[in-house]
Structure 1
Amino acid sequence: MGNSTLFICSILLFIVTQEVQSLNKRCIGCRSRGELGTCGDPFPLNVTETIVESGLHVVACPSGWCGKLIEGTVGTFRSDDYGAATERMCLQRAPSDYEERCAYTMWNRKKVYMCFCNGDLCNSAFSISSFPLITLVSILIPLYNYYF
């Protein structure tokens, strides 16, 4: 097998691996209110511990996009608001611009802070994104040109 064939096979294998991984994306599903809840922000648990915690679920997410919604603010208590509620979920579809972000928005006529992320269990904590394909290609092309 020639060097160029090996190079092309390596890139194709990487692309197929990325696609298969995208089919297996999961999100944390939970909701809790106040500082003592198990769904709080920052997420108080390691993802591997979620199976044993009441109210926490690891759910399959066909869209690959997870969300985190924070409703209310700690410190601004009203009679009907006894702490910030945090909800983590799988989104039915990606944002229209396919951008990961956090921002204030309106949800059910309330101002909430909402985050969108794309990746396996990305709504459990801060995550390091996987090595993007474009980065790999931008590294491999100069190497290919140098060696071949």
Structure 2
Amino acid sequence: MDTRRLTQYVICVCVILTTVTLAQGQIKRCFACRSRGALGDCKDPFRFNSTHLVPGVKDEPCASGWCSKRIEGKKDGKDHDLAIERQCLQRSPPDDKERCSEALVGHRKIFICFCYGDLCNSASGIKPSFLLLFIPLAFQMLSSRF
């Protein structure tokens, strides 16, 4: 394969990967589940991803793109009182800022986190897409040929 054809191939692959990555970024999803106590699937550590789910845990489309994780109860050894819920928010927080904080809902104190992004309400941090890591490598390969 000559250099010109290889260059065209690499550019075509980069364009396709970029298009797929951007299209996937348009549709935001949130984990949706609720569990109470030590046996629930929604609790931390949260071991699920979009390809590995159980019946009580879903990855649902979220129009706002904002997800939440809500913790009610105390982690003081009485794990049966602890409830965790992950869900889509109908609208963004008023200041459009991702954060975690304590809040008062009714007369109960809860801990809640807001995040923006696809499946961001898992317990792990946001990981860059493998496809996005490939693009700079492809351009480096391309530029080294000239």
TM-score by length of 2: 0.63
1:15 to 2:12 alignment: no
Aligned to 1:50: 54
How far apart are 1:124 and its partner, in Å?
Answer: 4.5
Call closer, same or farther: CA 1:147–1:44 in 2, change over 3 Å: closer
Single out whichever of 11-20 and 110-119 deviates more from structure 2.
110-119
Alignment of 1:95-114 (within 5 A): 96=96, 103-106=100-103, 108=105, 110-114=109-113
1:33 touches 1:86 (CA, 8 Å); kept in 2? yes
Aligned to 2:141: 143
Distance of 1:45 and 1:20 partners within structure 2: 23
Call closer, same or farther: CA 1:127–1:106 in 2, change over 3 Å: closer
Aligned to 2:31: 28
Distance of 1:16 and 1:93 partners within structure 2: 27
How far apart are 1:3 and its partner, in Å?
Answer: 4.2
Distance of 1:22 and 1:32 partners within structure 2: 29
Distance of 2:92 and 2:7 partners within structure 1: 36
Q: How many residue pairs are counted as aligned between the two chains?
A: 136
TM-score by length of 1: 0.63
Call closer, same or farther: CA 1:5–1:27 in 2, change over 3 Å: same
How far apart are 1:11 and its partner, in Å?
Answer: 1.7
Distance of 1:139 and 1:16 partners within structure 2: 17
2:21 touches 2:131 (CA, 8 Å); kept in 1? no
Distance of 2:9 and 2:49 partners within structure 1: 39
Aligned to 1:126: 124
Distance of 1:114 and 1:143 partners within structure 2: 41
1:25 touches 1:64 (CA, 8 Å); kept in 2? yes
Call closer, same or farther: CA 1:44–1:22 in 2, change over 3 Å: closer
Question: Pairwise CA RMSD of aligned residues?
Answer: 3.6
Aligned residues with identical type, % of pairs: 35
Q: Which runs of 5+ in 2 are unaligned?
A: none
Amino acid at match of 2:20: T
Q: Which runs of 5+ in 1 are unaligned?
A: none
